[in-house]
């Protein structure tokens, strides 16, 4: 089976999860940082790089690999993804909400995207597009 790897980052601070909404596409719902590894890049390096690029947060630490899930997005034009879920931690301070611009996103027509970030309780957060598939493993 042919698939594309994608790394999903659950970034926690205590009992909170870092989530975001697209500023331009708020109808998409709550997401967490995610992206594809570059050629020759390990999954661990990819998730840390993608998390930094999408959030702007320095000092993220890899806690553990949570597992993977195969997802079929051929109807949406993305093929089959093997989503690898990782738990990352952040111990610094942030504003309650902030906007960060990702330059050169790997999906979609936009040359850059603005994301509005904020922290949500791990107990009540509901994520879009099955991004929450492994939250119970944190």
- Global pTM reads 0.92
User: CA 13, CA 85: separation in Å to the nearest integer?
Assistant: 17
Stretch (H or E) spanning 48? helix 43-55
> What's the chain's average pLDDT?
92
Higher per-residue confidence, 106 vs 2: 2
> What three-state secondary structure class fits 55?
helix
Domains: count for the chain: 1
User: CA 134, CA 123: separation in Å to the nearest integer?
Assistant: 13
User: CA 126, CA 31: separation in Å to the nearest integer?
Assistant: 9
Q: What is the pLDDT of residue 52?
A: 95
Q: What is the pLDDT of residue 102?
A: 85
Domain span at 38 = 4-137
Q: What is the pLDDT of residue 103?
A: 81
Length of the chain: 138
Query: What percentage of the chain exceeds 90 in pLDDT?
Result: 78
- CATH number for the domain harbouring residue 45: 3.90.79.10
Q: What is the pLDDT of residue 107?
A: 63
**For residue range 86-135, what is the model confidence (pLDDT) as tens digits?**
999 999 899 999 999 988 776 667 788 899 999 999 999 999 878 899 99
């Amino acid at each position: 089976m042919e698939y594309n790897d994608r790394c999903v980052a659950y970034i926690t601070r205590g009992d909170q999860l870092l989530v975001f909404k697209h500023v331009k596409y708020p109808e998409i719902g709550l997401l967490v940082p995610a992206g594809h590894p570059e050629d020759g890049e390990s999954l661990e390096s990819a998730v840390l790089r993608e998390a930094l690029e999408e959030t702007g947060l320095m000092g993220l630490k890899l806690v553990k690999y949570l597992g993977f899930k195969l997802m079929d997005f051929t109807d949406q034009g993305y093929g089959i993804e093997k989503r690898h879920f990782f738990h990352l931690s952040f111990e610094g301070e942030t504003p309650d909400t902030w906007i960060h611009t990702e330059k050169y996103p790997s999906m979609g027509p936009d040359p850059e995207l603005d994301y509005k970030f904020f922290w949500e309780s791990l107990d009540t957060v509901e994520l879009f597009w099955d991004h929450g598939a492994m939250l119970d493993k944190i």
